[in-house]
Amino acid sequence: MDSLGKFLQTGDWKGEKHVPVIHCPNKVKADEGFELEVSIGDAIKHPNTLEHHIVWIKVFYLEKGGKFPVELANFNFSAHGEAGAFTEPVGLAYVKLNKPGKIYAISYCNIHGLWENSIDIEVE
């Protein structure tokens, strides 16, 4: 079967403006809430115009050894200059975990497609 996964692009966010940057602690306490922020363009700003913009970022968590990712957050950025209004591609969620695992973020640019990033997270 042809999978959508093969179209997920990635890279170093410091040099590739589409890669979502995941901001959260490397290690958190079990069942204690923490801030998880995702953003695009921390190093190189991505355009935000009607013609070219980031449409959404989705965030998933996969527990260590797990098979099924859990969607943690879904951020839609809907304004790209209409009446002078802009939504910048930044999203903040308040998350609790009780097992270590991986956080994945996937972003979608209306011109350049799907981009992903991931980080490991320890839970103690």
Torsions phi, psi for 10 (to 5 deg):
-145, -175
> Any contact of residue 16 with Fe ion (CB under 5 A)?
no
Could you give the string, one character per residue 65-104, with x where binding to Fe ion holds by CB under 5 A and - elsewhere? Answer: ----------------------------------------
Annotation says 80 is catalytic: no
C-alpha angle 11/97/116, rounded to 5°?
15
The correct pick among 88, 112, 118, 123 for binding Fe ion (CB under 5 A) is 112
Least Å distance, CB 113 to Fe ion, is 8
